[in-house]
Amino acid sequence: MKTKMRSKRNLKVMASLLLALAPTATFAQFNRTTYFMEGVQLRQQLNPALMPSRGYIGIPFMGAMNAGISSNSISSDYLADIVDNSSSADYFTSDKFINQLKHDNRLNVSVANDLLSAGWYADKGFWNVNLSVRVDADANIKRDVFEFIRASRGLSDQSWANANLHTDGFRAKVSSYMEAGVGYARPFGERLVLGAKVKLLFGIADIDAKVEDVTMKTNLRGIAPNQDWSTITDEQLKRVKGKAVIRSRASLRGSMTGLSLATDRNNYVDGIERSGSIGFAGYGIGADFGATYKLGHDITLSAALLDLGFISWGKSNTVSSSSDVERVYDFDGVHAGEHREDFRKTMKSGEIFNSDLWNLKGQESKTRTTSLRTTMVLGAQYKLLDDKLTLGALSTTRLGEVNTQAELTLAGNYSFNRHIGVALSYSMLQSQGKGLGLGLKLGPVTLATDYMYFGKDSRTVSALVGISIPIGSRHESSL
């Protein structure tokens, strides 16, 4: 079985899907609202030193399901329109779409699922194991990318007599891998707990697309000032005189089993092909480190570094292409007819995510290494009302090649008893003022969100569902 994904369409669809997913949260591998909830084993996803009160066995495929999407500009009100129009450039040139954009438009999608998980006490130490699948997608798209599209449709103030268009504003990265982890935490004295987890990584896919520079300059005659290149007729095209120059610097690198590049008659990349079944295309290792320290009975400080590691992708499963070219279209020369037609083809679709515009050429495949998205965590909590109420502040900073995300969360948790608890949180940096979170512990079930859905204007939303069976008796070593 062979699957073809033509890059002219595929790259546009990849960006459109990221846009479409925008209203659904950042940091989806973990949930900040549950960080201060006693007895919730999911806290170890944010700090391996946070020992739960007892052991557990996660329900297969339901131990921890966490997903979220975040955007600084696209709201859920536009979700249906973007999905419906993902195959057409017309929607992306409309005032409705353009008016919601910022100069930089950041998009982040994360999904994590614990397929298997368990934890248990051995003497004073706590062991835990997990088998999980994770998917991350990050993009940063500048507004001028879409202004470029508008110009090709005759919707710009730029006249084709002397146009000067430029963008360096597109980067998208999608990665997926499976991890098998073993963690251990142990108290040292009455105040300090140290924890660590080592993870074997099995890479499924990693695609990285980047536009560093696309510049177009024209000096044309015999053409309407704001000609729409998608509707220009053959007769109108024949009357165009002068020159146009397009410079492009871009790259596309990907790793996945059975991945290869398809090229056109000029040896330019015009598609990505994949054959066979999906398997592991790379292998790596990662680690988490954490610590908690009690200043007193009521106050605890904590810190962690998560996802320090890398994946090395095999040469046979990796494709690479790039462009650094300047193309001159001479509408007056010997090959004027061919140049006119090539320029129309390049501009007609109005797609900045367009292999004709990028002119990528395949390169020799090489082994490549990618880093994990490392996260730094700092927390402080204060207990009162006989430890039933916990107030806390949590800082998380997630480092990425495309986007770096920082969040500051204030949270409060109240435990009615050992089995039932509720938490409220407010995350103030990524939510455009709508970062209210809610967590519920109902026996073996944990439900939580860092960003509740507040209707069509929501730009950041997350959801966590975790179900685990408690094992063993309560342990006093946990903090």
Range 403-419 average pLDDT: 92
237 membership: H or E segment, kind and range = helix 234-238
**Dist CA 35 CA 45 (whole Å):** 9
Which residues lie across from 274 on neighbouring strands?
A: 3, 259
**Dist CA 398 CA 277 (whole Å):** 32
**Residue among 445, 446, 448, 444 at smallest CA distance from 425:** 448
**Exposed/middle/buried for residue 2 (C-beta within 10 Å: 0-12, 13-18, 19+):** exposed
**Dist CA 166 CA 312 (whole Å):** 35
pLDDT digits (tens, 9 = 90+) for 178-189: 999 999 999 999
**Dist CA 336 CA 242 (whole Å):** 9
Query: Nearest 5°: phi and psi at 331?
Result: -80, 0
Radius of gyration of the chain (CA): 26
pLDDT digits (tens, 9 = 90+) for 229-271: 889 999 999 999 999 999 989 998 999 998 888 877 777 787 7
Does the pLDDT value for residue 357 go beyond 80?
A: no
Does the pLDDT value for residue 5 go beyond 80?
A: no
DSSP state of 281: -
CB burial readout 31-55, b (16+ within 10 A) else e: bbbbbbbbbbbbbbbbbbbbbbbbb
Contact 282, 309 (CB under 8 A): no
Name the range with the highest mean pLDDT among 91-95, 210-214, 443-447: 443-447
**Dist CA 430 CA 434 (whole Å):** 9
Dihedral angle sign, alpha carbons of residues 214, 219, 225, 227: negative
Secondary structure (3-state) at 433:
coil
Q: How confident is the model at residue 18 (pLDDT cuts 50, 70, 90)?
A: very low
Task: Report residue 271 as tokens.
Answer: 């598609």
Range 413-427 average pLDDT: 94
Does the pLDDT value for residue 29 go beyond 50?
A: yes
Secondary structure (3-state) at 112:
strand
**Residue among 78, 88, 99, 104 at smallest CA distance from 23:** 78
pLDDT digits (tens, 9 = 90+) for 84-139: 666 566 777 778 788 888 888 888 888 999 999 999 999 889 999 999 999 998 88
**Dist CA 191 CA 294 (whole Å):** 5
Cα angle 336, 251, 159 (rounded to 5 degrees) comes to 40
**Dist CA 221 CA 27 (whole Å):** 52
| Cα 149 from chain centroid (whole Å) | 24
DSSP state of 62: T
The H helix count followed by the E strand count for the chain is 7, 23
Dihedral angle sign, alpha carbons of residues 347, 352, 358, 363: negative
pTM for the structure as a whole = 0.87
**Residue among 184, 197, 189 at smallest CA distance from 477:** 189
Query: Nearest 5°: phi and psi at 345?
Result: -60, -40
DSSP state of 347: H
**Dist CA 76 CA 84 (whole Å):** 14
- Which residue is it, tokens 């979700």? 79
Which of residues 77 and 175 earns the better pLDDT score?
175
Task: Report residue 187 as tokens.
Answer: 């108290």
Query: How many residues can be counted in the chain?
Result: 479
- Which residue is it, tokens 């007609």? 348
pLDDT at res. 353? 60
**Dist CA 358 CA 217 (whole Å):** 15
**Residue among 381, 330, 327, 386 at smallest CA distance from 356:** 327
Q: How confident is the model at residue 347 (pLDDT cuts 50, 70, 90)?
A: confident
pLDDT at res. 73? 82
Distances (CA, A) of 58 to 40, 200, 262, 468: 12, 20, 44, 4
